[in-house]
A and B are shown apart, each in its own frame.
Chain A
Amino acid sequence: MSGYGIEDLVYILPIVFLLVWALVLVLVEAFTKRPDVTMLLAAFGLLAAVTLSVIQFGTEATAFKEMLTVDGYAVFVYMLVLASGLLSLGLAYDYNRRMGWARGEYYILMLFSIAGAMLMASAANLIVVFLALELLSIPLYVMAAFVPNDASSEEAGLKYFLLGAFAGGFVLYGVALIYGATGATNLMDVVAAALGTNSPVMLLTGAALILVGLGFKVALVPFHMWTPDVYQGAPTPVTAYMAVVAKAGGFAALFRVFIAAFPSVSADLTPVIATLVVLTLVVGNVAALAQKNIKRMLAYSSISHAGFLMMAFVTYGSALYADAVTSLLFYLLAFTVTSFGSWAVVIALEKAEGKGLDFEDYAGLGKKYPMLSAAMLVFLLSFAGVPPTLGFAGKFFLFRTVLEAGYAWLAIVGVIMSLVSAFYYLRVVRFMYFEQGDPEVRSEPVLNLVTAITVVGTIFLFLFSGPLLAWASEAVLALI
């Protein structure tokens, strides 16, 4: 099954198709004068990739001499990332034109980045993890700096680049140490060699460095310093895309690498991971309380959600890892839908030059635009974990998994932090419904469509949580 043949390319056809399509779009962009053409073709490419991923349902295969895996886990993340791509494309379409800097290269970069995230979910070799991480990140550095002649966008891009490259260096050094400790970078070979190893120190250091590097990417504390600045400075559709896809790709790779390759060091790493979770939850939520700008508030909130996602990771070494994976995937789905919805509302209210992003600009939204503020209410409740939203189902299953694994104190911390988070989410609700004001809202067709889809998703998918959870739990890693 493995080797270098055509059947390997067929297994990863969604990724290959997306990459080839992006290259074709580079040519289209070179010869066209209108960015709309590239955007429509990019949307078509994403839809085609979704179809190809659906066809991959139920395959469990390794490709390219076991450097890549295609299994239920990977296909779940493919669909999530592709859906994020489509939603983010919808957000970017109107926004880029409204702000006057629409260019086709934006969509091409996004396609490359999506392919990188998909590759991260499929990676079964540490070098492929590194390459996919860079493929995911480098277009993002450019996208964050996309607004021409805007100091804060360029600064956000530079900061993201310097810290992201720094993190990539850590991941690479960790991979090199693992290679030295085990003589292999394929995850299967690493775990086989680790069982009979004579140098657990190098293995542990390598694993810890990979954790540090990927922790930068998904914005865990204390590697989160770049997040508020970059999220605030980058154009909002890029922020929405980054907040979800960087986390999805990062966590997908993190889980697969650690569950498949490092169960032997789990006893040493679990207290470290638990500490990271608590730090992330506390810092993310407490810092969000002090924010006045909605982009920074959502940035800190996404840090806290990375903490929740990491909580699923604490049990990775135990026998309950399957539940850990399921709760991660389901929470990721809930976070994706809710996050894009909230960013859609932010875009609807944003004015040029970074105005329209303070809480006061939301005052009076409830009276003037009841549907939009009802949508925002749904998203904020979902973030806070209030039923009947998808966020509540995600948190419920997560806490149940953590409790069953015996980490009751961690679940209690999570619940308390959820309550704290309700404070700053409901502050926006207070501004929307109980303050007077005259907000301006842009009502563009694609933006409204995105908002509608995500609102419907947040509420109705909650009704389908059972089947969704079953789907996620079938996505067991093929490597165990």
Chain B
Amino acid sequence: MLLDNWLFVGLLVIVAAGIPAIVLVIARLLAPRKPNDAKLDTYECGMETVGDTWVQFKVQYYIYALVFLVFDVEIIFLYPWAVAFDHLDLLGVIAGVLFIFLLGDGLLYAWRKGALKWN
């Protein structure tokens, strides 16, 4: 019965949400709280903090993720093309190949502009 299935899912949700919730509540109730200034300070390997807490933003991480994203979406489009490859006529094959060349164009540009280097 449909309702039986949903009942199982409901039970799962309650248990899965409930156990961590119970644990956290017990921890909040039972743990001692005695904050003082030294405990609340920022951690820097056990010494006094020196300088800003801002971390240098490395742009290479972002560029790496960006190039990955673009080619990941390319793969998303290539999967159905590959699956339907047997039933495609010539225009379909050419369209797929042109799509790959289009993204290769972008890759060449990124390569020449140094986006693939990691400094």
A-side contacts of B108, CB under 8 Å: 27, 30
B105 an interface residue at 8 Å Cβ cutoff?
Answer: yes
Q: When the two chains form their complex, are residues B91 and A26 in contact, meaning their CB atoms are under 8 A apart?
A: no
A-side contacts of B112, CB under 8 Å: 30-31
**Those of B83-119 within 8 Å (CB) of chain A:** 91, 102, 105-106, 108-109, 111-113
Contact-size category for B: under 10
A37 an interface residue at 8 Å Cβ cutoff?
Answer: no
B-side contacts of A60, CB under 8 Å: none
| Chain A residue at minimum C-beta to C-beta distance from B113 | A30
Pick the contact of B91: A5, A27, A30 (CB < 8 A).
A5
**Distance, CA A259 to CA B83, complexed state (A):** 40
B-side contacts of A409, CB under 8 Å: none
A-side contacts of B109, CB under 8 Å: 26-27, 29-30
| Chain A residue at minimum C-beta to C-beta distance from B111 | A30
| 1/0 contact string of A178-193 vs chain B (CB within 8 Å) | 0000000000000000
**Distance, CA A206 to CA B85, complexed state (A):** 36
Instruction: Report the minimal beta-carbon distance from A65 to chain B, rounded to whole angstroms.
Output: 13
B-side contacts of A30, CB under 8 Å: 108-109, 111-113
B-side contacts of A4, CB under 8 Å: 91
A23 an interface residue at 8 Å Cβ cutoff?
Answer: yes
| Chain B residue at minimum C-beta to C-beta distance from A28 | B109
**Distance, CA A203 to CA B87, complexed state (A):** 37
Interface majority SS on B: helix, strand, loop or mixed?
helix
| Chain A residue at minimum C-beta to C-beta distance from B106 | A26
Count chain A residues whose beta carbon lies closer than 8 angstroms to a beta carbon of B.
9
**Distance, CA A26 to CA B111, complexed state (A):** 12
**Distance, CA A4 to CA B93, complexed state (A):** 13
| 1/0 contact string of B31-57 vs chain A (CB within 8 Å) | 000000000000000000000000000
**Distance, CA A26 to CA B112, complexed state (A):** 11
| Chain A residue at minimum C-beta to C-beta distance from B89 | A4
A-side contacts of B111, CB under 8 Å: 30
A-side contacts of B113, CB under 8 Å: 30
B-side contacts of A5, CB under 8 Å: 91
Instruction: Report the minimal beta-carbon distance from B109 to chain A, rounded to whole angstroms.
Output: 4
B-side contacts of A29, CB under 8 Å: 109
**Those of A1-46 within 8 Å (CB) of chain B:** 4-6, 23, 26-27, 29-31
A-side contacts of B105, CB under 8 Å: 23, 26-27
**Distance, CA A6 to CA B106, complexed state (A):** 25
Instruction: Report the minimal beta-carbon distance from B94 to chain A, rounded to whole angstroms.
Output: 10
**Those of B2-24 within 8 Å (CB) of chain A:** none
| Chain B residue at minimum C-beta to C-beta distance from A108 | B109
**Distance, CA A23 to CA B104, complexed state (A):** 10
A-side contacts of B91, CB under 8 Å: 4-6
Instruction: Report the minimal beta-carbon distance from B98 to chain A, rounded to whole angstroms.
Output: 9
**Distance, CA A31 to CA B113, complexed state (A):** 9
**Distance, CA A27 to CA B101, complexed state (A):** 12
B-side contacts of A27, CB under 8 Å: 105, 108-109
**Those of B61-86 within 8 Å (CB) of chain A:** none
| Chain B residue at minimum C-beta to C-beta distance from A26 | B109
Instruction: Report the minimal beta-carbon distance from A254 to chain B, rounded to whole angstroms.
Output: 29
| Chain A residue at minimum C-beta to C-beta distance from B112 | A30
A-side contacts of B106, CB under 8 Å: 26
**Distance, CA A438 to CA B113, complexed state (A):** 44
**Distance, CA A405 to CA B23, complexed state (A):** 71
| 1/0 contact string of A253-284 vs chain B (CB within 8 Å) | 00000000000000000000000000000000
| Chain A residue at minimum C-beta to C-beta distance from B101 | A23
Instruction: Report the minimal beta-carbon distance from A367 to chain B, rounded to whole angstroms.
Output: 49
Instruction: Report the minimal beta-carbon distance from A305 to chain B, rounded to whole angstroms.
Output: 37
Instruction: Report the minimal beta-carbon distance from B65 to chain A, rounded to whole angstroms.
Output: 18
**Those of A72-126 within 8 Å (CB) of chain B:** none
B-side contacts of A31, CB under 8 Å: 112
**Distance, CA A23 to CA B112, complexed state (A):** 15
| Chain B residue at minimum C-beta to C-beta distance from A31 | B112
**Distance, CA A1 to CA B102, complexed state (A):** 27
Q: In the A-B complex, list the 3 residue pairs whose CB atoms are closest, starting with the nearest.
A: A30-B112, A30-B109, A26-B109
A–B complex contacts, Cβ < 8 Å, 7 sampled: A4-B91, A6-B91, A26-B105, A26-B106, A27-B105, A30-B108, A31-B112
Name 8 extra pairs, CB < 8 A, besides A23-B102, A23-B105: A4-B91, A5-B91, A26-B106, A27-B108, A29-B109, A30-B108, A30-B109, A30-B111
